[in-house]
């Protein structure tokens, strides 16, 4: 995995144990040293099972001290991320880069909380990470040229295509995607169509790999609602009603569809 030069490969650390964190770890494992830091023993065990032992999984954040490029992939909450960045800043070497997988929070604000704004980047990957080629990269003002170069080199090593995007909530993909997804929910309510009918129309009529309602289920309705609020897209009442029932999509076994 190429870092600042081929002689100095990045040692990648990933903080989190959810779908994005595990997907990123699985991709990184094929290209160089990587470790994943989970919050609890239970989370670590589940992550280890998903990754089939291909990645070092730990609950000991001190192990991240050896990493040169650490990617945070936890809940979309500025306070939680800021607290994590404060701990990581103390652990990491001065030249280590901190990255976040956010797509809805201000990169400039998160960078200011990181303690190393010149070595900070938003590295927004897409689910499923092992299949989706795009990475949106967003840099705060004052980002060091070496940070850009190393972020680009890392993404290339992972086989990803990068697009540098402005620091605006939702970047490009989510800013355009979620109003469309929410429009599909509103159409569902207005017409009484079955979710399967809406999804089939968009899969076969627009050549989308997933219909909009199935995609919302994949993303997670709670995550979708948080993104909608962040980008100023009104969240349909149907999504909130499902969330109130504990129906969050695939991860809970039920959303607009059953799994």
Which residues are identified as catalytic?
Answer: 103, 124, 136, 174
Q: What CA–CA distance (Å, rounded) separates 158 from 160? A: 6
DSSP structural state of residue 62: G
Residue with tokens 């903080």: 15
Strands (E), the chain: 12-15, 34-37, 56-58, 69-72, 97-100, 120-124, 134-138, 161-164
* 200 φ, ψ (degrees, to nearest 5): -65, -40
What stretch of H or E contains 196?
helix 195-206
Q: Are 72 and 16 in contact (CB under 8 A)?
A: yes
Which of 59, 53, 45 has the alpha carbon at shortest distance from 25? 53
């Amino acid at each position: 995995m190429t870092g600042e030069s081929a002689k100095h490969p990045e040692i990648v650390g990933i903080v989190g144990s959810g779908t994005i964190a595990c997907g990123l770890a699985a991709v990184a494992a094929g290209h160089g040293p990587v470790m994943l830091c989970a919050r609890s023993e239970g989370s670590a065990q589940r992550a280890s099972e998903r990754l089939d032992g291909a990645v070092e999984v730990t609950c000991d954040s001190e192990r991240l001290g050896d990493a040169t490029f650490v990617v945070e992939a936890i809940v979309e909450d500025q306070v939680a991320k800021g607290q994590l960045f404060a701990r990581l800043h103390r652990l990491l070497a001065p030249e280590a880069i901190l990255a976040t997988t956010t797509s809805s929070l201000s990169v400039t604000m998160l960078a200011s909380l990181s303690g190393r704004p010149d070595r900070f980047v938003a590295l927004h990957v897409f689910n499923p990470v092992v299949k989706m080629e795009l990475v949106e990269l967003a840099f705060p003002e004052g980002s060091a040229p070496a940070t850009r170069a190393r972020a680009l080199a890392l993404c290339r090593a992972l086989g990803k295509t990068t697009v540098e995007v402005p620091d605006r909530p939702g970047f490009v993909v989510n800013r355009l995607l979620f109003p469309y997804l929410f429009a599909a929910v509103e159409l569902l309510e207005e017409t009484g169509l079955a979710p399967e009918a809406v999804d089939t129309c968009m899969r076969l009529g627009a050549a989308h790999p997933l219909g909009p309602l199935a995609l919302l289920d994949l993303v997670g309705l709670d995550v979708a609602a948080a993104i909608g609020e962040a980008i100023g897209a009104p969240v349909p009442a149907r999504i909130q009603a499902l969330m109130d029932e504990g129906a969050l999509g695939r991860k809970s076994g039920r959303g607009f569809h059953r799994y």
